[in-house]
Amino acid sequence: MDLGLNNKVAIVTGGTEGIGFSCAKVLVQEGAKVYVCGRSTEKLHSAQAKAAEEGWILSGNTADVTDANSFAQFLEWVMEQAGCRKPVERLWISSMEDAAIREGFQN
């Protein structure tokens, strides 16, 4: 499927395991620059190793999204890593359906 995400920047919170990890993988496969966060350094490193075993790169850092300072530092790190020069807009995708993903990236 081609969702038109090539070179878009995507952030997946809780992306070190489970549904978040799977979402990150799909976004990478669609050509997005994906950055994940999770609270555990150990889980982040484990997820990065799993991604490498599967043949893709998972970029991420630790952050607690319930802590505004922690999440703000993560966002600053993402902007630096991705070379973002534009203002950041919040994206909310309610499901992994093609239509929902397209709608989220159009806004």
Other C-beta atoms within 10 Å of 99: how many?
8
Q: Strands (DSSP E) along 14-103, which ranges?
A: 33-38, 59-62
Q: Are strands 33-38 and 59-62 parallel, antiparallel or unpaired?
A: parallel
Instruction: Report the alpha-carbon distance of residue 59 to residue 37 in Å, rounded.
Output: 9
Could you state, in chain order, the average pLDDT of each consecutive group of 10 residues for the chain (107 residues)? 84 94 95 95 97 96 90 91 75 63 66
What is the DSSP pairing of strand 33-38 with strand 9-13?
Answer: parallel
Res 67: pLDDT: 86
Q: Give the whole-angstrom CA distance, residue 107 versus residue 103.
A: 7
Can you tell me which residue has the tokens 């093609």?
98
